Chain A
Amino acid sequence: MADKLIYAMYDDDDVLKESAKHLVSKGVKVHEVFSPFPIHGIDPIIGVEHTRLGIFAFIYGLIGLTLATVGMRYFMVVDWPMNIGGKPNFSYLENMLAFIPISFEFTVLCAAHGMAITYFIANRTLPGMKAQNPDVRTTDDRFVIELRASQNSNYSAKELEAFIKETSFVEIEQKEI
């Protein structure tokens, strides 16, 4: 799929925010913003959807809880019944209090790890993955807006560049993929 990418570089996050506002007001779709740190308030400007990571966290937590319950019931009650402080064994339910801390820990463990790994995959930043940012300087002190010609079919690449030139950009670059 041939597409034309336009990168506009800025040297300040507030300037980038203003420029993004300017571009969006012209009806341009901003595909992505690269920045060394989170820019507060950029999401609603470029129309990023709210994260669904919380829902995943809940699901991972439930998986952890289920695994812990099933596992402990098998280890401590079914396979080799353990005497828990002289309490009635052969019963998970009557000894449940003793299992709650572990269930809780395992829920947290699964939710936290699941969330972190999901986050890395969603951002394509798992260890070993190729970096997505167009310019190394976006990890230091530069901020880049990425526009895609395919998403802005009302405008030609030249017109898009003209819009960027109305803002106080530092560098501008075009790339074909």
Chain B
Amino acid sequence: MEFKITNKANKFTLILISIGLIFTLLGIILVWGDSNRTQRILASSLINSFFFFSIGLGALFYLALAYATESGWYALIKRVIEGIAGYIPYGIGFMVLTLFVITINDGSHLYTWMDPEVVAHDEIIKGKSFYLNKLFFWIRTIAYLGVYYIFWRGFRKRSLEEDIKGGTEIHFKNYKKGALFLVFFAVFSSTSSWDWLMSIDVHWFSTLFGWYTFAGIWCSSMVVLVLLTLYLKKQGYLTKVNDSHIHDIGKWIFATSFLWSYLWFSQYMLIWYSNIGEEVAYYMMRIENYKVMYFGMFVVNFVFPMLLFMSREAKRHSGILTIVGLIILAFHWIDVYIMVCAGSMGATAKIGFLEIGMVVLMTGIFIRVILNNLTKAPISPVNHPFLDESIHHEI
């Protein structure tokens, strides 16, 4: 069955995009007089470029994981995962654009290590400059984005090919490529978050940071996956997707929320315990300027999924999944917001028209791209070797 975008969804995304555009422009005009205007605009674009790109990336990772583990149950919702991962080319575009503007503005106080004047007076950054310099940063960025794009194109091409050809040859090829992607992703997910996010707090470092970011990415994309699956089911597609599939995705949200909280806590507790000046500075900044938001975000992202998704019935209930999912998603956005803003702007960061405008705008684009991706192929794969297993999935 082919998916068609309803008029309502079409209008909804257009309204989101236009409201977002108006708010963004209004926000830019309002902050134009401020001294930190470039910083605010660039921070906002970095947050939203990264957040939505990472959801697409999370879906690609999940697809590769399913290939590498030869999972069967997900076969029916494979195209939904692909639809989300299909945002990757657009996400790459936004990421490259944002990073490019940041680079030509000498980091513009987001990446202070890009500013030669700051580096000249800072011994710590000087010591890191063999890694944190513009050229090597771009070599790495292009490597990450290039690898992600190549794998995405290969997965998509073979997936569509499988619909026509059938057989198991493509399945085993996917199996190998999926495992290979995981090898790349294991390294790149860590180093890319160091480059794009951790280098904002340039004096500080944590080896756990990459996994922490990755856990957030994974959780967000599982939430988007369940929301999209429920939406499609409500529209009358994916009729064979049953409660057990929804239950399984719910379990993923539950598990990844725990993974995220575990890593957040591990990073926090170790730094709290050892109490070393240059490490603690990172949290001092957050506690001084973002106390409620920072700990509130942690509590919501940990306690909500834990208590509300614990029972079996809740993980099968579309209403609970939708509401809690949307809350978690919003608070993971705040997580990324604090990652970017605390290190660069500190107390002067605000959520105004600009920030809200940009997130609405990008949400509109994100939904539109995903829905558009879904129209391009049958909504469930036709010849997936595990399709029958997936149809009879029962837990």
Contact = CB atoms under 8 A, between A and B. Distances in A.
A binds B: yes
Interface of A: 40-41, 50, 54, 58, 85-87, 97-98, 100-101
B242 to A, nearest CB: 14
Contacts of A50: 312
Contacts of A54: 310-312
A98 B273 contact: yes
B2 interface: no
B273 A85 contact: yes
Contacts of A100: 265, 269
Interface in B61-118: none
A98 B275 CA distance: 13
Nearest to A41: B394
22 contacts: A40-B394, A41-B394, A50-B312, A54-B310, A54-B311, A54-B312, A58-B310, A85-B273, A85-B274, A85-B275, A86-B275, A87-B275, A97-B265, A97-B268, A97-B269, A97-B272, A97-B273, A98-B269, A98-B273, A100-B265, A100-B269, A101-B269
Nearest to B307: A58
Contacts of B274: 85
Interface string B252-284: 000000000000010011001111000000000
A98 B269 CA distance: 7
A100 B270 CA distance: 12
B266 to A, nearest CB: 9
Contacts of A58: 310
Interface in B363-395: 394
Nearest to B268: A97
A85 to B, nearest CB: 6
Contacts of B273: 85, 97-98
A43 to B, nearest CB: 11
Interface string B134-151: 000000000000000000
**A86, A97, A98, most chain B CB atoms within 10 A:** A97
Interface string B283-320: 00000000000000000000000000011100000000
A72 to B, nearest CB: 15
A172 B269 CA distance: 64
A126 B272 CA distance: 45
A101 B262 CA distance: 10
Given A58-B310, A100-B269, 6 more contacts: A54-B312, A85-B274, A86-B275, A97-B269, A98-B273, A101-B269
